[in-house]
Structure 1
Amino acid sequence: MATIDRQARTLALAHALTAAERGLAVIPLSRTKLPALRSPHRDDPAAPPCHGECGRHGHGVYDATTDPARIRELFAAAPWATGYGIACGLPPHHLIGIDLDTKNGTDSSAALRDLARRHRFTIPPTVVVLTPSGGRHLWLTGPPDTPVPNSASRLAPGIDIRGAGGYLVGPGSRTAHGVYTTAPGTAHLTPAPCPPALLRLLLPPPRPGHPARPNGAPPHGQGLVQFVLAARTGQRNTRLFWAACRAYENGLAPALLAPLVDAAVGTGLTEHEARATIASAARLTGHGA
């Protein structure tokens, strides 16, 4: 068993590094499919929510990275890891995972075909990962300014969605139930764009009483502003930083920074804190002084 575990760890790291070369941010996973590194704040129930701001390992998907040195560091800190997770919603792919489960006799593939027929969309050729239980993960990409939320059986029984803040078990991972593998003929593919009709189903309905263009945001950037507005305590700086990075990367910053500041202030940050967070995003994306 020890030899198998060592092999699984070695293979998991190799697969994770390969995924990172494709621009997919990864974290080590245990055989239970959970992040391998425990929270450094687990023994301090009074600690405020932290998404990695403390600089230590153990913040789940917020540890995800494409930096090979950082990936090796994470796996070295978790020598029991036998798999890796791929963070969804991050650039350059803005990955969306369609998780088709087979538990309890659910025919989630048929449910997806029914949705496709009723809403008139077709799933394009894309990466498909086969799970040990007989399910499938379809990899799609979303637009950079429209974060897709995670959901479980909201579309239909057995169809779970992995979006911003979620992760998919990467192919090559070994879990307690077996190995995740890429479906034949799909390993060479690039994740395909999510059909617009399906994307509309994945997004939450507009909240009543909110304008279509919050705080003066341009139409193509309103998703980022809404993402910031939805922040809860402990998420405000992280969500603002993520949204500001996307704004800079996609050339939206000139029109979007003022609405992002207004949204952040509306969640409880001070204007100084909001502008400091946005300045950090500018530096990270190469737009700072």
Structure 2
Amino acid sequence: MAITDRQTATLALAHALSAAERGLPVIPLSAGKLPALPSPHRNEDRPVTCRGTCGLPGHGVHDATTDPAAIRALFAAAPWATGYGIACGRPPHHLIGIDLDIDTTGRNDSAVSLQQLALHHLFTIPPTVTVLTPSGGRHIWLTGPPGVCVPNSASRLAPGIDIRGAGGYLVGPGSVTTRGTYRLAPGTADLPPAPCPRALLRLLTPPARPHHPSPRTDQGRGLVRFVLAAREGQRNTRLFWAACRAYEHGFGDALADALTHAAVRTGLTEREARATIASAARLTTG
């Protein structure tokens, strides 16, 4: 590794530790803005839904931590890291990132779209941490209330406006990427992330799905019985079919454990069962 690269990696670690001191969970990133550590499950035959419970690093944003020793260990395992990511939606800040991209002509029309949304829905973006991206865009940092899950989205709010919420991450200021360095906007370095305006928060959170307990419960029980009735040679097929139906009707995650237990009773291992259910989830919700 060249001296310049070592200096870049050292600075990335320093920036990450500084962010962690402010309660922001971090992970090392490569110059391509992706998590620097590869998945420990990448060579396994079946899809794995592990989110770090195996105890090994390499689970992307699920590795994010504020513990200095753990952060140093992550960066030591990825000496090629040139930046760091900050996990969104995690306590204590429950960070929400408003990512304003620029269009192909170099204009920042997404900023205009955000202003129009603010005027229409009667909110203002308060002074807050703002990060300038190498492409000319900007990341606006806001905080959400505990118990409110803001999902990630791309151009759902308006063209060119991406949202980083639960399960997502923001590239931290000071990170070096193939396109340049992420920097704090002048005048925002000493600001804390500001609370997200309520009107904007309502736009960012999808409406709750209608609750129909009786039909859903009956159908879920029927799918579990369908899996339990599987004979050898049918177990994976029946489990996959049942999981697909559950996800298509919006209660796949809620039924996943029951389907797993049923499949284990028919002779599948828990790992096989969860891999099959994960495949059904990707097929029906991807």
Instruction: Tell me the TM-score normalized by structure 1.
Output: 0.73
What does residue 141 of structure 2 align with? 139
Give me the whole-angstrom Cα distance separating, in 2, the residues matched to 1:10 and 1:83.
10
SS at match of 1:44: coil
Letter of the structure 2 residue corresponding to residue 161 of structure 1? I
Give me the whole-angstrom Cα distance separating, in 1, the residues matched to 2:187 and 2:255.
46
Tell me, yes or no, if structure 1 residue 34 matches structure 2 residue 34. Answer: yes
Match among 247, 267, 283 for residue 255 of structure 2: 267
What does residue 222 of structure 2 align with? none
Letter of the structure 1 residue corresponding to residue 148 of structure 2? T
Residue 185 to residue 94, structure 1, CA distance change in 2 (3 Å): same
SS at match of 2:150: coil
TM-fit CA distance, 1:209: 4.3
Once the two structures are overlaid, the 10-residue window that deviates more, 43-52 or 18-27, is 43-52
How big is each residue's C-alpha offset from its partner over 1:65-110, in whole Å with a ceiling of 9 and x where there is no partner? 0000000000000000000000000000000000000132351000
How big is each residue's C-alpha offset from its partner over 1:178-215, in whole Å with a ceiling of 9 and x where there is no partner? 0000001101111000000000000112223459xxxx
Give me the whole-angstrom Cα distance separating, in 1, the residues matched to 2:159 and 2:97.
16
Once the two structures are overlaid, the 10-residue window that deviates more, 168-177 or 100-109, is 100-109
Give me the whole-angstrom Cα distance separating, in 2, the residues matched to 1:48 and 1:265.
15
Give me the whole-angstrom Cα distance separating, in 1, the residues matched to 2:45 and 2:188.
44
What does residue 85 of structure 2 align with? 85
TM-fit CA distance, 1:47: 4.3
Give me the whole-angstrom Cα distance separating, in 2, the residues matched to 1:87 and 1:9.
19
What does residue 22 of structure 1 align with? 22
What does residue 74 of structure 2 align with? 74
What does residue 7 of structure 2 align with? 7
Give me the whole-angstrom Cα distance separating, in 2, the residues matched to 1:9 and 1:76.
10
Residue 264 to residue 93, structure 1, CA distance change in 2 (3 Å): farther
Match among 130, 133, 150 for residue 128 of structure 1: 130
Give me the whole-angstrom Cα distance separating, in 1, the residues matched to 2:11 and 2:143.
26
Residue 205 to residue 168, structure 1, CA distance change in 2 (3 Å): same
SS at match of 2:156: coil
Residue 157 to residue 15, structure 1, CA distance change in 2 (3 Å): same
How big is each residue's C-alpha offset from its partner over 1:30-77, in whole Å with a ceiling of 9 and x where there is no partner? 000000000011111314311001100100000000000000000000
Instruction: Tell me the TM-score normalized by structure 2.
Output: 0.74
Aligned length: 222
Give me the whole-angstrom Cα distance separating, in 2, the residues matched to 1:36 and 1:268.
30
Letter of the structure 2 residue corresponding to residue 12 of structure 1? A
TM-fit CA distance, 1:268: 3.6
Give me the whole-angstrom Cα distance separating, in 2, the residues matched to 1:265 and 1:10.
41
Give me the whole-angstrom Cα distance separating, in 1, the residues matched to 2:4 and 2:114.
37
Give me the whole-angstrom Cα distance separating, in 2, the residues matched to 1:19 and 1:199.
24
Structure of higher CA gyration radius: 2
SS at match of 2:120: helix
Tell me, yes or no, if structure 1 residue 201 matches structure 2 residue 208. Answer: no
What does residue 180 of structure 2 align with? 178
How big is each residue's C-alpha offset from its partner over 1:251-278, in whole Å with a ceiling of 9 and x where there is no partner? xxxxxxxxxxxx99943436xx9xxxxx
Residue 153 to residue 266, structure 1, CA distance change in 2 (3 Å): closer
Once the two structures are overlaid, the 10-residue window that deviates more, 75-84 or 199-208, is 199-208
Consecutive unaligned residues of structure 1, counting only runs of 5 or more, are 212-232, 234-262, 274-289
SS at match of 1:153: strand
What does residue 95 of structure 1 align with? 95
SS at match of 2:141: strand
Consecutive unaligned residues of structure 2, counting only runs of 5 or more, are 214-242, 244-250, 262-286
SS at match of 2:200: helix
What does residue 43 of structure 1 align with? 43
Give me the whole-angstrom Cα distance separating, in 1, the residues matched to 2:40 and 2:53.
12
Residue 64 to residue 208, structure 1, CA distance change in 2 (3 Å): same
What does residue 60 of structure 2 align with? 60
What does residue 238 of structure 2 align with? none
